[in-house]
Amino acid sequence: MLDQRLVRERPNLIAHELERRGIKLDLNSLQQIAQQQRDLEEQRSKLQSRGNLIGKEVGEKIRQGFDPKAPEIRELRDQGNQIKQEVALIEEKEKTISAVLKEKLLSLPNLPSPECPDGKDEKDNQEKYRWGAPRQEANLEEHWEIANRIKLFDTERTAKISQSRFVTLLGQGARLERALINFMLDLHTSKGYQEVFPPVLVNTASLKGSGQLPKFADESFRCIDDDLWLTPTAEVPLTSLHREEILAANKLPLKYVAYSPCFRREAGSYGKDTKGLIRLHQFNKVELYWFAHPEKSKEAHAQITNDAEAVLQALELPYRVIELCTGDLGFSASRTFDLEVWLPGAQAYREISSCSVCTDFQARRSSIRTKEGKTTRLIHTLNGSGLAIGRTMAALLENGQQQDGTVKLPEALVPYFGSDLLQPDFRY
RNA sequence: GGAGAGGUGGCUGAGUGGUUGAAAGCGGCUCCCUGCUAAGGAGUUACAGGAGGCAACUUCUGUCGAGGGUUCGAAUCCCUCCCUCUCCGCCA
């Protein structure tokens, strides 16, 4: 959410910054609403001030021994009632207008960072650097072909269990998924991240706090009988972990790592990535999350990206780092680095992590602050996948595939998986 | 699901209609003392929004789970809802 004061006082700045994201909107009307709301508030508080004085006077008189039914007191009471009615009138207007304002503000995305390059869509994203040597041979298999052959998962049977875009991992596939989760959690906790295992059902306030609502309701699964939704990412419960809190400045940054299943409706992506592990309604992810001091968030962003990259490096997976342009930024982000892993079978780089700094956008929605001396200020939040498990598995399969049909796994996984080789399994 | 208890500042916890935005303690901050550490002393310390000032700050309003109501006046009384805890039942 954007600062209301900014809307009132510098609407042009907001209009300009949102235009960088490709959003054109009439900020004059928004500014007027904000201004009206403030004017009403001012009117009301002046009336209330008078009302309070009258109340005090009555109390004072009664204490001095006036008869509560004396005309002086009756007069004051009448005045009090008069004011009460006027206040009620203003309050009614105020309520309507601030509901409108709030709804509008909640629907505006974050302002892009000055460092975020201008651009219209993903074509304008900038590659920053590459790591590792991508395999380029011809005739390499895509990950679902490999998985099918050695029986790591079963999508056909899964349709009986739930729907398309879900997967049932089998045998080595199930074990590898588990190994990857543990491997990543261990790697991050060894670097000072605190491990969290959050609930998967979250309430509306949590989704609002991190920016998924009100705008993207159709992207999440919801429970019809309760005020609960399935988390689209652990970013949601992690943001709300400290919702409405004032965090001690000397404890910042707070760094969390959470494994969670993630649920997304993927509305509007019919026909895209229909095979394999790339785009599923349910997938596993290890998420990194920082609550940072507002002046340290730039360094934090570099660090969280680094920490996500460390997973790819440990798994010996070639990747590149992409800086998203303004037009491709997520709703809450002010600046984002995507990590794209090389998929030799597809001969393409695919997003496997997205590391964003959300400045005070989520903190304002969630009311997460810190205190320095006498002033409280909003903290900054950052998030990054570290990493998406399914896509990591896809990358491992395609990068590790060998002539004999087996898959070689990186050494780092051996303690977790128990082997460095995936072989066909005929039991399934 | 049944019965009961409760939701107050960063935390613990007083407070049942009239200067109570709220005692006390803890914690935090500032200063003093101390050779160091430990301890001690003095002061200070809710949040949000508005107005004024370059600023330190001053001032107004709101906020004691949320929303209504009673009243000139509500943390305190009434209603509705939400949440937490305890016990019982059911259950992984």
| Contact criterion met (CB below 8 Å) for A270 and A151 | no
pLDDT, residue A58, reads 87
Q: Which of A415, A348, A336 is nearest to A382 (CA)?
A: A336
Distance in Å, residue A39 CA to nucleotide B73 C1': 26
Query: Annotated catalytic, A50?
Result: no
pLDDT, residue A371, reads 82
pLDDT, residue A121, reads 94
Distance in Å, residue A335 CA to nucleotide B80 C1': 45
- Out of A20, A335, A369, A391, the active site residue is A391
* pLDDT, tens digit (0-9, with 9 covering 90-100), for A63-119: 777 777 788 888 888 888 889 889 988 988 888 898 889 889 999 999 999 999 999
CA distance A398 to A273: 16
Distance in Å, residue A378 CA to nucleotide B66 C1': 24
Which residues in A25-149 belong to E strands, given as ranges? 126-131
Query: Annotated catalytic, A264?
Result: yes
* pLDDT, tens digit (0-9, with 9 covering 90-100), for A152-182: 999 899 999 999 899 999 999 999 999 999 9
What ipTM was predicted for this assembly? 0.87
pLDDT, residue A56, reads 86
Please check whether strand B approaches the CB of A77 to within 7 Å: yes
pLDDT, residue A303, reads 97
Query: Annotated catalytic, A354?
Result: yes
CA distance A268 to A282: 16
| Smallest CA–C1' separation from A51, nucleotide | B72
| Contact criterion met (CB below 8 Å) for A47 and A140 | no
Q: Which of A264, A265, A208 is nearest to A236 (CA)?
A: A208
CA distances from A256 to A179, A191, A192, A291, A387 (A): 20, 11, 9, 9, 14
| Smallest CA–C1' separation from A48, nucleotide | B61
Q: Which residues are bridge partners to A321 per DSSP?
A: A129, A339
> Can you read off the two tokens belonging to residue A307?
């920490």
Q: Which of A251, A339, A324, A323 is nearest to A288 (CA)?
A: A339
A340: amino acid identity, one letter: E
pLDDT, residue A72, reads 81
Helix (H), strand (E) at residue A149: helix A143-150
> Is the torsion defined by CA of A362, A365, A371, A375 positive or negative?
positive
Maximum Cα–Cα distance across chain A = 103
Under DSSP, the state recorded for A254 is E
Distance in Å, residue A92 CA to nucleotide B68 C1': 13
CA distance A299 to A357: 10
Q: Which of residues 209-268 of A touch strand B (CB under 7 A)?
A: 246, 250
> Cβ contacts of residue A249 below 8 Å, gap of 6+?
A293, A370, A371, A372
* Domains of chain A with CATH codes: 4-106 (1.10.287.40), 122-422 (3.30.930.10)
Please check whether strand B approaches the CB of A74 to within 7 Å: no
Q: Which residues are bridge partners to A228 per DSSP?
A: A223
Give chain B positions with protein CB within 7 A. Answer: 10, 18-19, 29, 46-51, 57, 60-62, 68-69, 71-73
The parts of chain A modelled with pLDDT lower than 70 are none
- Say which residue the tokens 């491990």 belong to: A195
CA distance A409 to A176: 10
> Is the torsion defined by CA of A250, A253, A257, A261 positive or negative?
positive
Please check whether strand B approaches the CB of A157 to within 7 Å: no
> Is the torsion defined by CA of A136, A141, A143, A149 positive or negative?
negative
pLDDT, residue A26, reads 83
Please check whether strand B approaches the CB of A373 to within 7 Å: yes
| Smallest CA–C1' separation from A88, nucleotide | B68
